[in-house]
Amino acid sequence: IIGMDDIRKTESINKIHNDVHILMRENKVDETITMLRNALKLYPNSFLGELAETLAVKGTQNNDVTIMKEAVTLYERCINSNKISMKGKSTTTVHMIFLNLKLGMIDKANELVKSLPHFWESREVLIPEVYCGDEYVEELKKSIIKALVFFCGKIQNLQSRKYGEIPSYFQLGVDFNPTKSVAEILDTINDLFNNRY
């Protein structure tokens, strides 16, 4: 019986996650917030991050300081929870950085930036290290391409960048499949350094 309760709980949580994603795709932010608040009553701490993220979306869209501050508070609870992975903490911290910038809390945002791992401690940098020989070289190339594609995307979005707003590629994930050759990507980066943007 205990096992069945756990199975039902997992199924219910998965259904709520699925429903949340559907509502957000349909841009039904208020309905999503209501659903998540109700879900938290049943499953405390299970949906803190999702509620914080949804509140952040609404607060940013409406420039509502109260809602953004509530999102920050929930993000802080997530980070302090022992139920969140290291990757989850980093993602949550990134979201908090942008919200704090939007709220004009530059010192807090800077403090959070400094709490994140260094570039050389990132997954993309370290993945090649578990390989040897030719496999190492191939994985190193993949990691370099990912970094170049990411920074090229940031450069290409310079004109549309809005201070304090989390870029869509942070929320939706970066498509690391290059649409340009390495030479073209390097040209884009070179243009930045030659002040052509």
pLDDT in tens, 127-140: 999 999 999 999 99
Q: Give tens-digit pLDDT for 68-126.
A: 999 999 999 999 888 888 888 998 999 999 999 999 999 999 999 999 999 889 888 99
Q: 1-32: buried (b, 16+ CB within 10 Å) or exposed (e) per residue?
A: eeeeeeeeeeeeeeebeeebeebbeeeebeeb
Alpha helix positions (H), the chain: 2-25, 29-42, 48-62, 65-80, 86-102, 106-115, 123-126, 133-156, 168-172, 182-193
Quick one: pLDDT at residue 172?
A: 55
pLDDT band at 174, cuts 50/70/90? Answer: low
pLDDT at 161 over 60: yes
Note whether 127 and 138 are within 8 A (CB).
no
Tokens of 78: 């997530």
pTM of the predicted model, to two decimals? 0.80
2 or 41, greater pLDDT? 41
Query: Which positions ≥6 away from 138 have C-beta within 8 Å?
Result: 131
